[in-house]
Structure 1
């Protein structure tokens, strides 16, 4: 996709990891349309995979149906609500899928030079700009709430049982409200959508270093991020989508 006089390229990779036997992540991207969507499913045997696949496919269909126009915030909200409805109704119809749900993160590059980002759950969207990595999303999780409230000082102080406990997920209820933001694009920006299988294994400093060094080669950056997460244990499925307008790389990323 051509925006702001530069080419925006995308690459993605998903991996089962070193511990899980089933990959419950799902992703999709459309480089020419400027869309990237990622989900991390949950819900026991087969449920997580069904939830994530259904959420991504439904969200993608709704957004692509809008055509070449500038996607509005209401379009993104509708896509998330339709995806939520699809997962929720499937769970209601099949008792084996009753407790399934999923995270959902989406990014849309817009012809007016802006980017629309949305999410539910703890899959994240990052931006690397001018050597600084910034997380554009806030996890909908018990851990994040406790950190924000000052109940604990760091995630290392949290009980193991808190890991993965979401306060908002797609498909577990009849309705869901995504968090949305509209931001200005700049040439040289790199965006990353990822499941927590990446962020649980790698620090933001490590992620920033990879994007800064290899951001001009999205496929290579995606491959290295997954490889590094597996090297650190790969305790969960790992999925990434790299969206880059960078034409060269260097070292020394900072974290904001």
Structure 2
């Protein structure tokens, strides 16, 4: 007959194994790579701290019966709690996505999740400056819906070329709009000392909402959807396109190739870098 002590020991070992497995399923604030069964989507991700003291990026993917969610948030490094802000944002988008089938009004979900995340960050930190960028996508069959706040990137890799999907919400693009509308001179648009400063982010007191897709992007077999923080821009577009062109490589291998290339690049300063890749293998 098994003694009570042995039973307790077995339970402790089982619980320890369960905790270890749970930790294994999360890596640096995101979920490990997986290929949704029968979906024709290959998901991959990779992350790098760069030369920074801490990792302010968070990310996640989640596969539901009605769609696949991907989120990347880049906590603002100039603020003390950027890493916490990005985690709150990712957790909020995930929890709101899991509550209900959002396919009836995806843009409402995006705006609601963005405003809820903004509220949660402001509630936690009150008067302490804190914030994060967010980019997210929902893939339903071959339709891609997206949300964007700040200067992180959503792009499509098709036929060997990277095609931007969203537009950075920073001073540089605002100045460009002002110039083309005739409100400022070309010199004023080019010489602004704070051209990279964000015009919008989650956790901002004046936050009014996110930019969302006016219509879905129709994907094709062979497309790759990219979501990434600006640390990936340590590589230029040609370098990224070359790496993404490797045939028969998994989405995870491609993501890790990109991070490895950033690590090898000889530059003095490297920002946190995070990338999610969704390869469309069939429609």
Bin for the TM-score computed over the shorter chain = 0.7 to 0.9
The equivalent of 2:257 in structure 1 is 224
Asked if the contact 1:85–1:174 (Cα under 8 Å) also holds between the matched residues in 2, the reply is: no
How far 1:45 moved relative to its partner?
Answer: 6.2
Alignment of 1:121-140 (within 5 A): 121-140=150-169
Partner of 2:245: helix, strand, or coil?
A: helix
How far 1:221 moved relative to its partner?
Answer: 0.8
In the alignment, the residues of structure 2 paired with residue 77 and residue 165 of structure 1 have an alpha-carbon distance, to the nearest angstrom, of 23
Asked if the contact 1:70–1:110 (Cα under 8 Å) also holds between the matched residues in 2, the reply is: no
| Superposed CA offset, 1:26-81 (max 9, x none) | 00112454111000001556410010000011011111222485562111211111
Distance 1:120 1:215, change over 3 A: farther
In the alignment, the residues of structure 2 paired with residue 85 and residue 69 of structure 1 have an alpha-carbon distance, to the nearest angstrom, of 24
Match of 2:130 among 78, 96, 100: 100
How far 1:175 moved relative to its partner?
Answer: 3.4
Partner of 1:59: helix, strand, or coil?
A: helix
Is 1:53 aligned with 2:87? yes
Alignment of 1:165-184 (within 5 A): 165-173=197-205, 175-181=207-213, 182-184=216-218
Asked if the contact 2:57–2:83 (Cα under 8 Å) also holds between the matched residues in 1, the reply is: yes
Is 1:144 aligned with 2:177? no
Asked if the contact 1:143–1:158 (Cα under 8 Å) also holds between the matched residues in 2, the reply is: no
Is 1:188 aligned with 2:222? yes
The equivalent of 1:91 in structure 2 is 125
In the alignment, the residues of structure 2 paired with residue 223 and residue 163 of structure 1 have an alpha-carbon distance, to the nearest angstrom, of 30
The equivalent of 1:64 in structure 2 is 98
Asked if the contact 2:201–2:207 (Cα under 8 Å) also holds between the matched residues in 1, the reply is: no
The equivalent of 2:28 in structure 1 is none
How far 1:130 moved relative to its partner?
Answer: 2.5
Give the total of aligned pairs.
Answer: 236
In the alignment, the residues of structure 2 paired with residue 75 and residue 47 of structure 1 have an alpha-carbon distance, to the nearest angstrom, of 26
What is the CA RMSD across the aligned residues, in angstroms? Answer: 2.7
Match of 1:204 among 231, 237, 241: 237
Match of 1:26 among 58, 65, 74: 58
In the alignment, the residues of structure 1 paired with residue 79 and residue 198 of structure 2 have an alpha-carbon distance, to the nearest angstrom, of 19
Match of 2:116 among 82, 86, 89: 82
TM-score by length of 1: 0.82
In the alignment, the residues of structure 1 paired with residue 80 and residue 59 of structure 2 have an alpha-carbon distance, to the nearest angstrom, of 17
How far 1:137 moved relative to its partner?
Answer: 0.9
Asked if the contact 1:8–1:31 (Cα under 8 Å) also holds between the matched residues in 2, the reply is: no
Which structure 1 segments of 5+ residues have no match? Answer: 248-256
How far 1:147 moved relative to its partner?
Answer: 4.1
Which structure 2 segments of 5+ residues have no match? Answer: 1-34
Partner of 2:246: helix, strand, or coil?
A: helix
